[in-house]
Structure 1
Amino acid sequence: MRRGWLLGNALWLQAGWWLCVLGAHRPWLLLIVVFGLLLHVWLSPGGELRVLLWVAVAGCLLDSTLGMLGVFSFGQWPLPAWLALLWLVLASGMRHSLAGLGQPAWLAVLLGLLGGPLAYLAGARLAGIDLPLGRLDTALILAPVWALALPLALRFAARG
């Protein structure tokens, strides 16, 4: 069951990312995300909801701040629903398929440094999010932010 759960969670993270980003232009896809998140909470062990909410609130505050600083232009404030749901999707893997990324800590730092900006740049392009500073400057800002954010989120989830 454990291996199947981890594989299912990894697949959910991928599907959830695509559904959220494509849901920026097709909002009905976000209903699938909400259903998937509810199913995840129902099937997960205790403490899952706390981790989901903490990571999602922290992530939404982070993205809202970056938006206010002009790194992103969402066209609304604080941020679109698809992006808030995307934070919940990411959080749903913190205690499961992403948990191993926290050990050793340098691995989470490296993956945040590289993977965070790449995910944002790809998502922004697909969802039509404006990057006023340009792709390179945006990536250079996001790299250290995610080098810190991913290890912190993983550490919190491990204790949650």
Structure 2
Amino acid sequence: MHFWANVIGYQLVWFAIVISAARGQPLWGIAAAAAFITLQLRFSATRKADSRALLATFACGFLLDGALAATGWLHYASPLVSLPAPIWILALWLAFAMTLNHSMAFLQGKPVLAAALGGIGGPLAYLGAARGFDAVVFTSPAWHAIALLAIGWAIALATLAILTRRWAAEHPAARLQPEHVL
């Protein structure tokens, strides 16, 4: 999928999931994520690497958001089904996985940069979902959840950057396509 289609598609999914969860109708956002993932896989030159990224990213989301839910430091709108995190937040993680070999491919093999971006961007996304849409609520003191998010996202994105580089190496021709260039 083309670089900009991947960036814009993921952002649309983020808004669809967050807004639909905040309004108590998370299935709309989950459907948007499923459509994005399906289209991404359909047109991907790195389908096998993307599939592996889906599994690894799901594990990261399950662990991080599961820990936040278990501690009670973060409450989610529209819990629907919890595994222990709501299925809508896990769908968002899966949609995010579809950026790792495409619009976020520049992070592959750069775990320090990935950790920095994850440690900053992860908490900011949750703060945006909380303050802008009430999709998540930080409990007091909020800094506990923000610190866990920063650490968790830093570790997750660094790990995913290492893994996706390894998986993308199996598709050397695909790495040279324009969709992978900033």
Q: Same fold (TM over 0.5)?
A: yes
TM-score (structure 1 length as normaliser): 0.85
Return the offset for 1:64: 0.8
SS at 1:73 equivalent: strand
The answer for unaligned runs of 5 or more in structure 1 is none
Q: Tell me if 1:73 matches 2:70.
A: no
Deviates more, 1:52-61 or 1:14-23: 52-61
Return the offset for 1:22: 1.2
Query: Please, which of 79, 97, 104 is the counterpart of residue 98 of structure 1?
Result: 104
Structure 2 counterpart of 1:54: 56
Return the offset for 1:30: 2.8
Return the offset for 1:127: 4.2
Structure 1 counterpart of 2:5: 8
SS at 2:72 equivalent: coil
Structure 2 counterpart of 1:114: 120
**2: CA distance between counterparts of 1:153 and 1:31?**
24
Residues 28 and 145 of structure 1, relative CA distance in 2, 3 Å threshold: closer
Moved over 4 A (4+): none
- Aligned pair count reads 157
Return the offset for 1:50: 2.2
Residues 35 and 82 of structure 1, relative CA distance in 2, 3 Å threshold: same
Residues 88 and 32 of structure 1, relative CA distance in 2, 3 Å threshold: same
> Residue by residue, what CA displacement relative to the aligned partner does 1:1-54 show, whole Å, maximum 9, x if unpaired?
xxx711111111211111111120233243222112111111112312222122
**1: CA distance between counterparts of 2:140 and 2:164?**
32
**1: CA distance between counterparts of 2:110 and 2:53?**
21
TM-score (structure 2 length as normaliser): 0.76
AA matched with 1:95: N
AA matched with 1:40: Q
Return the offset for 1:134: 3.7
**2: CA distance between counterparts of 1:58 and 1:137?**
19
The answer for unaligned runs of 5 or more in structure 2 is 168-182
**2: CA distance between counterparts of 1:88 and 1:39?**
13
**2: CA distance between counterparts of 1:19 and 1:110?**
26
Structure 1 counterpart of 2:44: 44
Return the offset for 1:117: 0.7
Deviates more, 1:59-68 or 1:100-109: 100-109
Residues 23 and 100 of structure 1, relative CA distance in 2, 3 Å threshold: same
**1: CA distance between counterparts of 2:120 and 2:100?**
18
Structure 2 counterpart of 1:131: 138
Residues 144 and 22 of structure 1, relative CA distance in 2, 3 Å threshold: same
